[in-house]
């Protein structure tokens, strides 16, 4: 048990330290090359100008704060993984052999998803800043990428790993058969949509730290120690990002970070369900409540405008609505942090007893 705890926590600390070390280098690059939007503002889901957002977030902040802060997270995880992988060969039969969490059975798929998501997110951000405004890879193309990738992974779960059901706490399983593939695709797209939580300084970082830390605990309870180590390592990398993202943010996460994190989270959620004799999917509605609410608030807003002809919220997603009704951004952020921590604790309790 002690070795398993060390396996989880040492990579976490290493990822955090590496993130702190590489951030000044990344920050220098981002500011030197002016890696930010050339014009401020956003568009709504129906393609109109988001006027409420413009009132809350002045254009000078939009056009002077670098994007691609997620490179800190991706770089920290990547360097940590490489160092531990190399160390086991340089120092065989030592603690480094135990620390390596790069395993075919548990972490190959989530790591592949992590770096593929980061790559597409990076290309989107790069095109966005080079073209000006919100002109990155179109939303339709990004959804297509997420759908194809999640479809392939869903097929792998179904055909190669015999995942045909989801766990229900205290009540067995819900059999889906081949429908597990579209179910995984829908869940992955929904999680990707939750990436818009990266909208206030410090908000996304605090939320994702709690979620990945909680799933590290869930995987640890299931004795899936490689998944636990990966989840915790990502959490440590996000903590390093958060150190520099608290108000006033030195940079924003944007797609390179949110796409990598949300797509990887969907895989980890699935792998801590029936594969781990756990309830990873149902737990998402508790542990990931801030992400769930973010997506639902967007859906409700769109439906209200189509059905009632008017908005239900001042602005969607929900965290911007709180800003619009007068909450300071730091209050929104810190209350989301508190809720995220409590959801993580509650989720871990349910994982332990269900």
Hey, where are the domains in the chain?
A: 2-353
pLDDT-derived band at 53, boundaries 50, 70, 90: low
Query: What is the spatial distance between Cα 292 and Cα 158, in angstroms, rounded to a whole number?
Result: 25
- Model confidence at 136, pLDDT cuts 50, 70, 90, reads confident
Distance CA 322, CA 332 (A): 7
Taking Cα atoms as reference points, which of 112, 149, 119, 153 lies closest to residue 137?
119
pLDDT in tens, 333-342: 999 999 999 9
Predicted confidence at residue 318, as pLDDT, reads 93
From 243, 212, 241, select the one nearest 229 (Cα to Cα): 212
- pTM score, whole prediction: 0.94
Neighbours of 78 (CB within 10 A): 18
Q: Is 349 exposed, middle or buried (0-12, 13-18, 19+ CB in 10 A)?
A: exposed
- pLDDT confidence of residue 106: 93
Least confident of 94-98, 137-141, 280-284: 94-98
pLDDT band at 49 (very low <50, low <70, confident <90, very high): low
Residue pair 304/183 in contact (Cβ under 8 Å)? The answer is: no
Answer with the residue of higher pLDDT: 127 or 114. Answer: 114
Model pLDDT, residue 65 = 87
The distance from CA 146 to its chain's CA centroid, rounded to whole angstroms, is 14
In this predicted model, what pLDDT tens digit does every residue of 243-285 receive, in sequence order? 999 988 999 999 999 999 999 999 999 999 999 999 999 999 9
């Amino acid at each position: 048990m002690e070795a398993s705890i060390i396996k989880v926590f040492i990579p976490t600390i290493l990822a955090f330290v590496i993130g702190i070390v590489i951030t000044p280098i990344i920050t220098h690059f981002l500011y030197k090359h002016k890696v930010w939007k050339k014009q401020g503002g956003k568009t709504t889901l129906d393609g109109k100008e988001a006027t409420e957002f413009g009132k809350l977030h002045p254009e000078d902040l939009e056009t002077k704060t670098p994007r691609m802060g997620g490179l800190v997270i991706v770089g920290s995880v990547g360097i940590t993984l490489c160092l531990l992988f190399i160390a086991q060969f340089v120092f065989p039969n030592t603690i480094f052999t135990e620390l390596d969490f790069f395993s075919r059975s548990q972490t190959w798929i989530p790591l592949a998803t992590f770096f593929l998501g980061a790559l597409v997110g990076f290309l989107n951000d790069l095109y966005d800043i080079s073209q000006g405004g919100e002109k990155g890879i179109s939303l339709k193309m990004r959804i297509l990428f997420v759908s194809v990738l999640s479809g392939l992974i869903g097929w792998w779960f179904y055909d190669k790993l015999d995942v045909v059901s989801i766990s229900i706490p205290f009540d067995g399983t819900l059999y889906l058969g081949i429908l597990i593939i579209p179910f995984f695709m829908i869940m992955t797209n929904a999680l990707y949509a939750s990436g818009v939580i990266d909208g206030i300084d410090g908000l996304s970082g605090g939320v994702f730290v709690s979620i990945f830390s909680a799933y590290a605990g869930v995987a640890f309870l299931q004795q899936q120690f490689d998944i636990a180590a990966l989840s915790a390592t990502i959490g440590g990398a996000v903590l390093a990002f958060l150190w520099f993202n608290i108000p006033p943010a030195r940079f924003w996460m944007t797609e390179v970070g949110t796409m990598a994190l949300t797509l990887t989270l969907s895989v980890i959620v699935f792998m801590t369900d029936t594969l781990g004799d756990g309830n990873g999917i149902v737990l998402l509605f508790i542990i990931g409540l801030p992400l769930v609410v973010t997506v639902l608030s967007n859906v409700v807003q769109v439906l209200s405008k189509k059905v009632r002809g008017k908005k239900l919220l001042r602005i969607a997603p929900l965290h911007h609505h709180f800003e619009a009704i007068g909450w300071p951004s730091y209050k929104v952020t810190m209350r989301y942090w508190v809720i995220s921590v409590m959801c993580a604790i509650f989720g871990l309790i349910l994982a332990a007893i269900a």
